[in-house]
Amino acid sequence: MLDAGCGWGETAIEIAQRVGTSGSVVGIDCCGAFLDTARADARAAGLANLTFVEADVQTYAFEPVYDFCFSRFGTQFFENPVAGLRNMRSALRPGGTMTMIVWRGRADNPWLTLSKEVVLRYLPPVKERAATCGPGPFRWRTPRS
């Protein structure tokens, strides 16, 4: 299993615990500081079936060896989402599955907007920029994004 954009490794660790010795997990992320934490947490959990690779998911030279490729909140930050998604797909064996979890819009995540609502009670509003389709947590906020 491949965890693309694994960040601090929480999901990769959870999956490695679930598959146990019958499977293996590779977490890949471009942020070495995140992976340092992920590696330490994996060692503390005693996981021998989990490794982490510091690389860019969009350009890494994957071999088609994975049955499952997963990304939790990682694909929204691709500079080139088409290249990133294609490259994730290239990591899969024929018949493999690729799944990603992404944020919906701010309105569907009130915990993200509450702080702004509170601040606006005390400070004047600032002119907001229009949302873009560039890298960021809400890149895939609608099915057509």
pLDDT tens for 27-82 read 999 999 999 999 999 999 999 999 999 999 999 999 999 999 999 988 888 889 89
pLDDT at residue 124 in the model? 86
The string over 53-62, giving b where at least 16 C-beta atoms fall within 10 Å of a residue's C-beta and e elsewhere, is eeeebbebeb
Q: Which two tokens mark 92?
A: 């899969």
What pLDDT, on the 0 to 100 scale, is given for residue 46?
96
> For residues 74 and 84, what is the distance between their CA atoms, to the nearest angstrom?
10
With 80 as the cut, is the pLDDT of residue 102 above it? yes
Give the Cα-Cα-Cα angle 63, 89, 134 (nearest 5 degrees).
Answer: 125
CA–CA separation, 60 vs 52, rounded Å? 13
- Of 126 and 138, the one with more pLDDT: 126
32 within 8 A of 38, measured Cβ to Cβ: no
Beta bridge partners of 92: 66
Residue 43 is predicted with a pLDDT of 97
DSSP state of 45: T
Residue 144 has pLDDT above 90, yes or no: no
Please tell me which of 69-73, 119-123, 134-138 the model is most confident about, judged by mean pLDDT. 69-73
pLDDT for residue 127 is more than 90: no
